[in-house]
Structure 1
Amino acid sequence: MKIAVCIKQVPDSWAEKKMVNGVLDRESVDAVLNDLDEYAVEEALRIVEAHGGNEEGGAHTVTLISMGPERATDALRKGLSMGANDAILVTDAALAAADALSTSRVLAQVIGDGGYDIVICGTESTDARMSVVPAMISARLGWAQLTFAAKVVVDPGGKVSITRVTEAGVDEISAAFPVVISVVEKINEPRYPSFKGIMAAKKKTIEYKDLAAVGVSAQSGWSQVVAATPRPARAAGVKVNDEGGAGDALVSFLAEKKLI
């Protein structure tokens, strides 16, 4: 099996962020591997380990694919230190401020050229929270999509089955290779890179591509941020002195907020 895992480098979730000219200022904050993508990397590794492993020269491989600036190399190195075989980074100045449609177009082109059987993604990125790129990649490639998987079972003969928990119950869905999967947080517990894995990652290959190498022309985004304002400071809470009417005051407050 050839498995591709789409990952993204994002600003640290705990950092204070700001918009500059309608674009998130990424240079002023620390950048990390998207937390939700770690579950995708872990699931890919568990799949190949369940079927003989992904040792060099073996039948199974895990390739990380990302789009972003050159500093995204750090995120790829973390995924490689977890155990992935190699990585591809699409980096081009023309991709700055790319939206989900632009991103899925580039990733789909790279994936389509790679001959992969399975593509695994996290549910969303913590900087955009859109949760649409896996479905967009699937649509562009014409592959089946198995989204929000809480459990994945792979038959190396060419079939993938997932369990998905919804508000209506539990869905059991399956599809033949090639397939795009997105996984939820509860599917596994991502491993911590070992010292051996960290050292090995320094020697693993990261292939850098620009838009010309991918075979995709630069296009402006289909969407853009037209305005952004800082979140207002949290206002002081309402204090009620209980002199016998606190219960009525609480009910009035909740009714005013349309909570009851």
Structure 2
Amino acid sequence: MDLIKSHKRRSRISEAMYILLNVLLALAMFAVTYVSGSPWIAVALVFMSKWRVLAVRPRFWLANLIANTVDLIVGLSYVTLVYCMTGSVGVQAALTVLYIVWLLIIKPRSKHTYVVIQAGTALFLGLTTVSMMMHEWNPVCFVAASWIIGCIAMRHVMNTYDEPYSNLYSFVFGVVTAELAWISYHWMAAYAIPGVSPIRLSQFALFTTLFYFVAERAYYSYHAYGEVRRNDIIPPVALTALVVIAAYVLAAIYGSDAL
């Protein structure tokens, strides 16, 4: 009985330390960005927080790194958005709270629904920050970064299935993302967010994330029932169509700015 109580006590202490360290990490990233006015120290903290990737034999480093890429994308996107909102402490604090929610609630979960949300979050935030920071770079860099993010996001989901062609499907979705990136590079549209003026909602990031959810629901239906059932695919397709139409209507009425 004493052994059981001791084990439970250690578990509670470990859980409390996990929560505390993650909260301190988010706060430290916000603080160093706010004080220094530069994102680079916070970027270093993001990579330093992944020290456990190397706390194994070298042959497992690559596999661990790939498994942590979704979290890296979200962390780097958080730093970028906080840096872009320099001078707006309230928005930076709100972003920090959302990042803490990611670290404590969304990231640790392994249920399929949470995995889909994790990949979708990384895809949306990654493409948003790429659109904001790289739209004036060489198009090869923009397209390559988008392809990598698309591959990583889809691979994160496909790994939850017993699918022998998961790498191929991830590559294909990455290619689709890259094609959309090429089009978007030459026709970049974004929407201002009230109260968050330096950050703009990238049409490319929004549409690609919606297409990702349609693709994920289609594969889920096929994997579960051997066919893509109408009842499974109609809701995400309808949602995507409505959002796309609404985006173009709002752009026609209010206009949309290039990033």
- TM-score (norm. length: structure 1): 0.25
Higher strand share: 1
Instruction: Give 1 or 2 for the bigger CA radius of gyration.
Output: 1
Specify which structure has the higher proportion of helix.
2
